[in-house]
Amino acid sequence: MVTLADVARHAGVSASTVSYVLSGKRSISAPTRERIQHSIDALGYRPHAGARALASSRTDILALMMPLRTGLYVPVMMEIAMAVTTTARSHGYDVLLLTGEEGPEAVRRVEGSAIADAMIVMDVGLDDPRLPCLQEAERPAVFIGLPTETAQAADAAGLDCVDLDFAAAGARCVEHLAGLGHTGIAVLGEPPAVYERGTGFAARTLTGLRAAAGAHGVGLLHRPVDGTYAAVAAAVTRVFEERPGTTALVVQNEAAVEPLLALLRHQGRAVPEDVSVVAICPDQVAVHASVPLTAVAVPAQEMGRLAVERLVARLAGEQPRGTALIPPLLTARASTGPAAPAAPAGPAAPAGPAAPAAPAAPGGPRTEDRHGRGGR
Amino acid sequence: MVTLADVARHAGVSASTVSYVLSGKRSISAPTRERIQHSIDALGYRPHAGARALASSRTDILALMMPLRTGLYVPVMMEIAMAVTTTARSHGYDVLLLTGEEGPEAVRRVEGSAIADAMIVMDVGLDDPRLPCLQEAERPAVFIGLPTETAQAADAAGLDCVDLDFAAAGARCVEHLAGLGHTGIAVLGEPPAVYERGTGFAARTLTGLRAAAGAHGVGLLHRPVDGTYAAVAAAVTRVFEERPGTTALVVQNEAAVEPLLALLRHQGRAVPEDVSVVAICPDQVAVHASVPLTAVAVPAQEMGRLAVERLVARLAGEQPRGTALIPPLLTARASTGPAAPAAPAGPAAPAGPAAPAAPAAPGGPRTEDRHGRGGR
DNA sequence: GTGAAAGCGCTAACAT
DNA sequence: ATGTTAGCGCTTTCAC
């Protein structure tokens, strides 16, 4: 193994000079710097991570706590993880992946053994058990999600949080539909487990949906669903029985999207003529659905990137910047339209299969409806 | 920060005794061990990862190289990653996640900076550029996938590989269909990019499919497809035009599954009466599809677990165990049946929508058809 | 602008 | 069964 001492000898300088060339914490004359750089390249030297960590108390590693619990949509998690690793690398950090259920214990492990400089905490719930440990901890942490009811509360607690403004996202969906004349909306939500767990984003979305529904005088039904065809079919069928006037659906459940669209086709309900559908999901899901969906995008990449950038800033000595709620962005696609003048009282007449809307040609002309900030 | 010296002082022993209690590399009398353990708990001591790494040249970290390139199905990757982290933790290891495209450079970085003890390499292609670096490297590596044409070649090169036996999996699909009397089969494969990249598993599957098709006198068509409705529709439509006698489809492309089923419904082709469908995908996808699919399972969890266990064995001093090809397991579900006596020459008469098969009740009685090892 | 030297916290001979 | 001690490879004062 090539050590710093080897490089120093090869370049005919002292170890400290080599170290300073590497860290740039002291000015080195151009000739020596070049000579040293040459030796480094020639010998293929790489600083030993452990030694550096011991001497400097910095590991250049970020821990990513990503407990993958039931009901979570994996691709979104993965997209965040990718954005985290990519952004981290661009700042010189590596990422340690923690997926276990250990919770607070994992926090203490990272903290106590100095295995990482900072942490990104995902799948945050209200009263998250990791929160107290994290607040006592020396190392900075950034949450993806909100461990409190409101952004204000998070700020007050001195937390650094990054998330989509799910309340505004919910409101935005209702506004869009209300603007199209819909007065009966049903929400297909995350699986029950997600709500029971107190995972903030689902609750905040619901808050926003309800507030906007109230403000616009729109009726709102909410049904958590598992992402299976059977569960979706049961929920939707019940909704139309209970509220025949329902003309629009909001889906916040990636796994339920295709089952839902299949079901509507099977029931002979045309999208968007009979039923409008708005999703809250990553754009990729919305675009590739069997009907391109009007949707509020879940900006997974941006969340991961932002989280890392805040963490890097904190490691550079900055104070927490407080909560960053990303404003929702709704893109109108082929799944929403004006409310039908007279909503059918039940399933449409079984007059053959509804033609499935073919995915629109990529880049084709299409109404886009981009409003940055929703109500709230 | 609490150090080992603090613990030693608190317990009235020397530092090395504490170290040996932790490592168990020397027998300690029960009284002292207990006294020391008590001090450790009382002070909340955790060994400093960097110091330990420097002194012992072991980091207790495994690097997971998981470049997420286009065409890969993210949930499978994630499932493997989860299995890796879980298994690793159970052996006392943490996992460093490397997702970049850096390739060989990342290998050298891990190797040179001693940031991890070993590596798990995913998304392995033929002539993988990381292979040479890895072979020179001091640290052991396990591949998930095969960087060579055959398992024998991998063994000869002294590699440790873990993968599903995709050739046998392909063969198994054909055998199952041939056994049901099908004589015209079309394969919907991974996106073109996956084949072009030389990613071994797709090619090996095709080899197995073709060999078995030859052996059973079955006609075989192969079409790579992107996982979009449009791409699937184009490919399938063309297949039925070119080979009207096609009565069965094999899908190796998770993203194409739902689009395919939706398309078949739309075309009025009943599954399995008009067309049988066999998938090569994780069981979860097969079970939750809108028609429960007969499928060869991609055992993501087992692959991750096996890879870690081999790596741990190597770190404990064992020799490479060579390539482990997991035998394919085909489970018969609702999507396959006997070949129609007279296959319809074109799309069936547009006699209303085919009733979508509701997902079978969980745990309900169903024919299962479990053969461990396929041909090959 | 450069060197010398004292650790960082732990492990593992080498002693007894 | 336990203590002593010499590093592991790097960073960072302190000194010139």
Let me know if A360 is exposed, middle or buried by CB neighbors in 10 A (0-12, 13-18, 19+).
middle
Asked if B354 CB < 7 A from strand D, the reply is: no
- Please tell me which residue lies nearest to nucleotide C13, judged from CA to C1': B16
CA–CA min distance A263, chain B (Å): 9
Residue B205: Cβ within 10 Å count:
28
C1'-nearest nucleotide to the CA of B27: D1
Rounded distance in angstroms from the CA atom of residue B25 to the C1' atom of nucleotide C15: 17
Where does chain B hold its CATH 3.40.50.2300 domain(s)? 61-165+301-326, 166-297+330-341+365-375
- Closest partner CB to A99 (pick from B86, B227, B266): B86
Average pLDDT of span A200-219? 96
Q: CATH 3.40.50.2300: does it fit domain B166-297+330-341+365-375?
A: yes
Contact status, residue B310 vs residue B298, Cβ threshold 8 Å: no
Contacts of B307 (CB under 8 A, 6+ apart): B84, B120, B142, B144, B162
What is the per-residue pLDDT for B266?
86
Say yes or no to pLDDT of B371 above 60: no
- Closest partner CB to B82 (pick from A99, A261, A290): A99
The nearest alpha carbon in chain B to A92 belongs to B109
C1'-nearest nucleotide to the CA of A7: D9
Where does chain B hold its CATH 1.10.260.40 domain(s)? 4-51
User: A117-145 pLDDT, tens per residue?
Assistant: 999 999 988 888 999 999 999 999 999 99
C1'-nearest nucleotide to the CA of A26: C1
Distance in angstroms (rounded) separating the CA atoms of residues B170 and B147: 19
DSSP string for A176-211: HHHHTT--EEEEEES-HHHHHTTBHHHHHHHHHHHH
What is the per-residue pLDDT for A364?
34
Say yes or no to pLDDT of A370 above 70: no
Say yes or no to pLDDT of B326 above 50: yes
Q: Read off the pLDDT band of B342 (50, 70, 90).
A: low
CA–CA min distance B267, chain A (Å): 10
The nearest alpha carbon in chain A to B96 belongs to A96
- Closest partner CB to A358 (pick from B53, B112, B230): B230
C1'-nearest nucleotide to the CA of A20: D11
Let me know if A235 is exposed, middle or buried by CB neighbors in 10 A (0-12, 13-18, 19+).
buried
DSSP string for A290-318: SSPPEEEE--HHHHHHHHHHHHHHHHTTP
Which 3 state secondary structure label does DSSP give A287? helix
- Closest partner CB to B115 (pick from A49, A78, A99): A49
Residues with CB under 7 A from strand C: A 12-17, 20, 26-29, 31-33, 51, 54-55; B 1, 3-5, 15-16, 19-20, 22-23, 25, 45-48, 51-52, 54-56
Determine the residue among A43, A77, A258 to mutate to test chain B binding: the one whose Cβ has the most chain B Cβ atoms within 10 Å.
A258
Protein-covered nucleotides of chain D (CB closer than 7 Å) are 1-5, 7-13
CA atoms within 13 A on the CB side of B187: 25
Distance in angstroms (rounded) separating the CA atoms of residues A70 and A230: 18
What is the per-residue pLDDT for A144?
95
What is the per-residue pLDDT for A288?
84
The fold of the A4-51 domain, in CATH, is 434 Repressor (Amino-terminal Domain) (1.10.260)
What is the per-residue pLDDT for B101?
76
C1'-nearest nucleotide to the CA of B56: C11
For the record, the structure tokens of B188 come out as 């919907």
Chain A residues in contact with B262 (beta carbon < 8 A): 258, 261-262, 265, 290, 356
What is the per-residue pLDDT for B71?
73
Cβ contact, residue pair A51, B48, below 8 Å: no
Q: What is the CA radius of gyration of chain A?
A: 26
Distance in angstroms (rounded) separating the CA atoms of residues A160 and A146: 9
What is the per-residue pLDDT for A262?
87
**How big is the A-B interface in CB pairs under 8 Å?**
166
Asked if B290 CB < 7 A from strand D, the reply is: no
Rounded distance in angstroms from the CA atom of residue B47 to the C1' atom of nucleotide C8: 13
The fold of the A61-165+301-326 domain, in CATH, is Rossmann fold (3.40.50)
Kindly report the pTM of this predicted structure: 0.88
Q: Read off the pLDDT band of B66 (50, 70, 90).
A: very high
Cβ contact, residue pair B48, A113, below 8 Å: yes
Indicate the pairing of strand A61-65 with strand A94-98: parallel
Chain A residues in contact with B265 (beta carbon < 8 A): 262, 265-266, 353
Chain A residues in contact with B1 (beta carbon < 8 A): 114
The answer to whether the peptide bond before residue A356 is cis (omega within 30 degrees of 0) is no
One-letter amino acid identity for B141? A
User: A258-297 pLDDT, tens per residue?
Assistant: 889 989 988 999 999 999 999 999 998 899 888 999 999 9
- Closest partner CB to A230 (pick from B2, B94, B359): B359
C-alpha to C-alpha distances, B373 to A229, A277, B205, B310, nearest whole angstrom: 32, 46, 15, 22
C1'-nearest nucleotide to the CA of A17: C2
Calculate the CA A260 to chain-centre distance: 23
Protein-covered nucleotides of chain C (CB closer than 7 Å) are 1-5, 7-13
For A205-209, A338-342, B183-187, B344-348, which range has the lowest pLDDT when averaged over its residues?
A: B344-348
Cβ contact, residue pair A81, B99, below 8 Å: yes
User: B137-167 pLDDT, tens per residue?
Assistant: 989 999 999 998 888 999 988 899 999 999 9
Determine the residue among B3, B43, B46, B69 to mutate to test chain A binding: the one whose Cβ has the most chain A Cβ atoms within 10 Å.
B46
Arithmetic mean of pLDDT over chain B: 89
One-letter amino acid identity for B106? A
Say yes or no to pLDDT of B105 above 60: yes
